[in-house]
Structure 1
Amino acid sequence: MKLLRIALLAIITFLSVGSLSYGQTRAELERRKAQLNKDIEMINSSLKKTSSDKKVTLKELNALKAQIRLREEKIKTINSEMRLLDGEINENMNNIRSLQAQLTQLKSDYAAMIRFAQKNQGAYSKLMYVFAAKDFNQAYKRLKYLQQFSEYRVKQAQYIEDTQTKLKGKVALLNKNKKEKDNLLSDQQKEKNTLGKAETSQSNVIKQLTSQEKKLRQDLSQKQRDAAQLDRAIRAAIEREIALAKKKAEEEARAAAAKARAEGKEAPAPSTSKSSSVLAATPEAAKLSASFVSNRGKLPWPVTNGVITESYGTQKIGNITKESNGWTIRTNANAPARAVFEGTVSRIVEIAGKNVVMIRHGEFFTIYQNLKTISVSSGQKVSTKQTIGTVGSDEDGVSEIHFELWKGMETQNPGSWLAN
């Protein structure tokens, strides 16, 4: 029957209107925004400490830069949320229009059935319709048709009620989407206003610092001396590891050659490797190096919660530039420092009054500077995320850890290795 086909089509369409595929992405964006809010709150607390003195400092500038970066990222996250909401709103509006059209058609069909039933509602008319059949088989089919028609009227009424309920739900969801978008727009505007103020503060701090260029150069020179001292210590430690690895490889090669001669076989050719690849010469070191590489971009941070205040590479402040071999991460007071991957503690030293832990991962090394306490010892094997100490704080109560990652004698950008 035509009416039955229309109703079935309406029900199929009704059931096929599922939830949108934005849920997981929306949830991820919400989690990211919540984390950004925590980071912003932490950096704001840090800013209050560094700006309490009338004298501006590099730490205040770094905190402002970090705050600006976080707020910019939060605005981008809000924009992504609004794009998804716009998609949801459009989809829900289309669903509402479709359900309204279905409801109109269902009501029209139901009205036609009611009119037909009213015209033929008498028991006599139904009996005449059945007895007017040519034979018993046709009479039976007419009787079944009347029964099905009656049942279908009940089902059609239920279809209408279900469609109305679904329509109300979609309208409520649409109103919720619009309210969420209004809230996001308000949050976005608030962040833009705060961002503008932070950028103004940053400009003022840069002006004050550049006006005190002599003092700034002195401060940076001290930082660069500390960095150079750390660099020398790291390179010396890595060179020592390479020398030990070469010595071990040479001893193994001599033992293999002696064994070959004793067995009357040709001695294996000696290794000519002179690079840091000798750090991965043993099967264990090679496996650890390969595992480290396979986790590129997924390694955990050296602290559970932190904000980058100094990035890897060249940093420019006014007319002055400085180099950084790693990340400086501001974190909470007494935050636990943790190993980013399994390995062996290669060295523990004190540089410029700051404790440094160096961990070897095959041919890779990770460096953790500015630890107040250390809970590991040289030669100790550590696991991923194992606590190796606590982060130290300066006289202003600002807690920062300096983290570096090396492959042999070459520095690496932590941003390419740590999880985003």
Structure 2
Amino acid sequence: MKSVILNIAVRIGFVLLLCLSLSAEAQTGEQKALEARKDQLENEIREINRLLFAQREQKGSVLDQMDALNQKINRQQQLIRITNQQSNLLNRQINTNIRQISKLRSDLEILKGDYAQMIRKSYENRSQQNRLLFLMSSTSFFQAFKRLQYMKQYTQFRKKQGEEIVVKTETLSTLNSDLTRQRKEKELLIAQNRRTKNELTDQVQSQQSLLKTIRQNESAYASEIDKKRKEARAIERQIENLIRSAIAASNRESGNRAATPGKFALTPEATLVANNFSANKGRLIWPVEKGVKKQGYGVYADAVYPGIKHQSNGVIIAADEGSDARAVFEGEVIAVLAVPGGNKGVQLKHGNFISTYYNLAELYVKKGDKVKVKEALGKIYTNRSSGLTQLKFYLYQDTNRLNPEEWIYRL
């Protein structure tokens, strides 16, 4: 009866350990995901420092400085949230380990007590004569057979008990090591969080100082905002006019008079390209080899006067000086942009999708060229007054604007 109870206890203990193990694996997966996101944020902060702050002291408008500060503050706030989540997760793991250690110690005490009792009984009945007498005193062959089976099972159970003690002792040692490591990790996270919060405080103070400077010269700031708006709208008008012209020319060439106005009449080959492009939504490469998103897509609040809203129909990506714009997908050059008094740009057709790369100082391709994914299209312009190298990237399906952040991988 006692052996049955012990067997049940061992099985229950195994199930509990299995559940705890599965829980630990889930927490490990969550921790890895948080660590990956933390690494990404830290890399983004380094890129913002390198690409947006490098020239800040000597060059750059107050608007560029404000944008850079806002981006860095935003990433630091996200980083603090991530490290807080990691710290909370470690707390849960530490508490789980403490409970496991307590249970294992209790189980070990019971196992060792039972094992010691079994050893004492084995010692008392250690002689071969006693075991032989136990078998010979059987009243029947069947009883003798059952007693022999019992002696074998008893020996195997004793061996299993010893092995269970070894396993639990090793598990206890591993958990104690994990607990020590987790507590050190938590201390490091707390220290990192403290440093990030101090940096954030410094950045917020810089932001407040810059805000004060801007508000002292509100008219100059408003003038700069208005100038940028007009420049952006002029570029976007030309982009959309070129798209409409390209659609009309393509449909004329195909001889498809029934084509819907503002939409490409696609050949089977162009349909295949469009379908492949669409299938890669969220996985397209960046239009630069290395960079950081400076301005996203859509409506956003003004950095200085939050009540004022701005509209961005594309994204702006900051890169290293001398960087090239590259094709996000295979396609055909359908137009070259040249804004009067501005810089150059390139439009690529991917079926009925159009990607536009603007703010180029030099072009490597011409209208009609077929390009491959990652192929360099031109050198991105570097503004000598601000020191910034920025690519403006737009995405359309026929004449409909798309959000590049939904199409480019992790943009």
Aligned equivalents of 1:229, 1:97: Cα separation in 2? 70
Given the superposition, is the C-alpha separation of residues 130 and 290 from structure 1 closer, same or farther in structure 2, using an over 3 Å criterion? same
Question: What secondary structure is seen at the aligned counterpart in 2 of 1:166?
Answer: helix
- Give the aligned length: 400
- Please give the TM-score of this superposition, normalised by the length of structure 2: 0.86
Of 371, 380, 383, which residue of structure 2 is paired with 1:394? 383
Residue pair 1:312, 1:324 contacting (<8 A) in 2 also: yes
Task: Show the counterpart of 2:317.
Answer: 329
Which segment is superposed worse, 184-193 or 95-104? 95-104
For residue 111 of structure 1, what is the aligned residue in structure 2? 116
Structure 1 stretches lacking a partner, 5+ long = 254-270
**Deviation of residue 71 (structure 1)?**
1.2
Equivalent residue number for residue 340 of structure 1? 328
Structure 1 residue 312 and structure 2 residue 297: aligned? yes
Which structure 2 residue ranges, 5 or more long, are not aligned? Answer: none
Aligned partner of 2:44: which letter?
A: D
Provide closer, same or farther for how the CA distance between residues 300 and 46 of structure 1 changes in structure 2, counting only shifts above 3 A: closer
Answering whether residue 225 of structure 2 is matched by residue 273 of structure 1, we say no
In the alignment, the residues of structure 1 paired with residue 189 and residue 45 of structure 2 have an alpha-carbon distance, to the nearest angstrom, of 18
CA offset at residue 56 of structure 1?
5.4
Matched, 1:245 2:235: no
Which one-letter code corresponds to 1:79 in the other structure?
N
The Cα of 1:313 is off from its aligned counterpart by 3.3
- Given candidates 270, 273, 277, the residue that maps to 1:292 is 277
Supply the distance in 1 between the matched residues of 2:363 and 2:87 (Cα, whole angstroms): 46
SS in 2 for 1:45: helix
Out of 348, 359, 364, the residue aligned to residue 375 of structure 1 is 364
Amino acid at match of 1:327: V
What's the CA shift string for 1:268-302, capped at 9, x where partnerless?
Answer: xxx2622x22x143333333333333333332221
Distance 2:136 2:260 in 1: 104
1:63 Cα deviation after fit: 0.8
1:120-159 mapped onto 2 (5 Å cutoff): 120-159=125-164
Query: Aligned residues: percent identity?
Result: 30
| Superposition pairs of residues 78-93 of structure 1, within 5 angstroms | 78-93=83-98
User: Counterpart in 1 of 2:267?
Assistant: 282
Q: Which amino acid aligns with 1:42?
A: E
Retained in 1: the 8 A contact 2:361–2:380?
yes
Q: What's the RMSD between the two structures over aligned residues?
A: 2.8
SS of equivalent residue, structure 2 residue 204: helix
In 1, Cα distance between the equivalents of 2:234 and 2:201?
Answer: 39
Aligned-partner Cα distance in 2 for 1:198–1:160: 56
Please report how far the alpha carbon of residue 379 of structure 1 lies from its aligned counterpart in structure 2 after TM superposition: 1.5
Q: Structure 1 residue 103: deviation in Å?
A: 1.8
Q: Is the 8 A contact 2:353 2:396 kept in 1?
A: yes
| 2:396 maps to amino acid | W
2-side partners of 1:160 and 1:236: how far apart? 79
**How far apart in 2 are the matches of 1:409 and 1:144?**
85
Q: Give 1:77's match in structure 2, choosing from 82, 93, 98.
A: 82
SS in structure 2 of the partner of residue 297 of structure 1: coil
Give the structure 2 partner of residue 206 of structure 1.
211
Go from structure 1 to structure 2 and tell me whether the alpha carbon gap of 1:100 and 1:242 turns closer, same or farther (over 3 Å shift).
same
Report what 1:5 is aligned to: 7
AA matched with 2:181: K
Mark the CA change 1:312 to 1:152 in structure 2 (over 3 Å): closer, same or farther.
closer
- Secondary structure in 2 aligned to 1:5? helix
TM-score with structure 1 setting the length: 0.84
CA–CA distance in structure 1, aligned partners of residues 87 and 289 of structure 2:
29
Q: Work out whether residues 280 and 289 of structure 1, in 8 Å CA contact, stay in contact via their aligned partners in 2.
A: no
Question: d(CA) in 2 for partners of 1:11 and 1:138?
Answer: 33
Match of 1:355 in 2: 344
- Give the SS at the match of 1:402: strand
The equivalent position to 2:401 in structure 1, one of 375, 386, 411, is 411
Pick the aligned partner of 1:366 from 345, 355, 358.
355
Judged with a 3 Å threshold, the aligned counterparts in structure 2 of structure 1 residues 113 and 339 are, in CA distance, closer, same or farther, namely same
SS of aligned partner of 2:26: coil
Aligned to 2:226: 221
- Alpha carbons 1:66, 1:308 under 8 Å: kept: no
Taking the aligned partners of 2:184 and 2:167, their CA distance within structure 1 comes to 26
User: 2:65 aligned with 1:63, yes or no?
Assistant: no
- Once the two structures are overlaid, the 10-residue window that deviates more, 159-168 or 357-366, is 357-366
State which drifts further: 185-194 or 217-226: 217-226
Q: Given that residues 46 and 63 in structure 1 are in contact (C-alpha distance below 8 angstroms), is that contact kept between their aligned partners in structure 2?
A: no
> Would the alpha carbon gap of residues 97 and 337 (structure 1) be closer, same or farther in structure 2, given more than 3 Å must change?
farther
**CA separation of 1:335/1:226 partners in 2, compared to 1, >3 Å: closer, same or farther?**
same
Q: Evaluate the alpha carbon distance shift between residue 321 and residue 214 of structure 1 in structure 2; reply closer, same or farther with a 3 A threshold.
A: farther
Report deviation, 1:40. 0.9
C-alpha displacement of 1:136? 4.0
What is the CA deviation profile of residues 201-246 of structure 1, one whole-angstrom value per residue up to 9, with x for unaligned ones? 2222122123222322333333233223312321221121121133
Name the CA distance, whole Å, in 2 between partners of 1:334 and 1:102. Answer: 66
CA separation in 2, counterparts of 1:20 and 1:346? 52
CA 378–77 in structure 1, closer or farther in 2 if over 3 Å, else same: farther
1:166 offset after TM fit, Å?
0.8
Measured after TM superposition, the shift of residue 64 of structure 1 is: 0.7
Secondary structure in 2 matching 1:419: coil
SS, match of residue 366 in structure 1 = strand
Counterpart of 1:260 in structure 2 is none
